[in-house]
Structure 1
Amino acid sequence: MAQGSGGNVIAAICNLFFPGLGQLVQGRIIAALIFAIIVVGGYALWWLVIPAIIAGVFHLWSIIDAARFKASD
């Protein structure tokens, strides 16, 4: 998929709903697991504030990463 392609847009939208899902759609399993674990874990610890902030940053990063992904040919 080229950057800005329809597949990348769909992947970015998937990440809005569940972090890492967009990377999974793109076939990047390790990146999907890393984003999902960090974001879900951080949101689960929301009362500690700092993990929730880190999770928010990683959630945004996962969306941008899916949108800007370029597959190596």
Structure 2
Amino acid sequence: MSGQGSGGNVIAAICNVFFPGLGQLVQGRILAALMFAIIVVGGYALWFLIVPPIIGAIAHLWSIIDAAKFRAD
């Protein structure tokens, strides 16, 4: 991955649309991938409550943006 706006980051962001954390895993960031996957899937699993799905949706959007804006140092 060369940097922000690169083709790799676009692919990672698209992967996150389908499964949260997958884009970070594609970028090689395992801890971030696990964090996003647990928060989003946990939030969506508690759909019958009000607050957890909202938190899950915000974390899902955050994971997509995080993968798209990732810049390797």
1:30-61 per-residue CA deviation (whole Å, 9 max, x = no partner) reads: 00000000000000001001000000000000
- Unaligned stretches of 5+ residues in structure 1: none
TM-score, L = length of structure 2: 0.97
**Number of equivalenced pairs:** 72
% identical equivalent positions: 78
Root-mean-square deviation over aligned CA pairs: 0.4
Instruction: List structure 1 runs of 4+ shifted beyond 3 angstroms.
Output: none
Structure richer in helix, relative to its length: 1
- Unaligned stretches of 5+ residues in structure 2: none
Partner of 1:58: 59
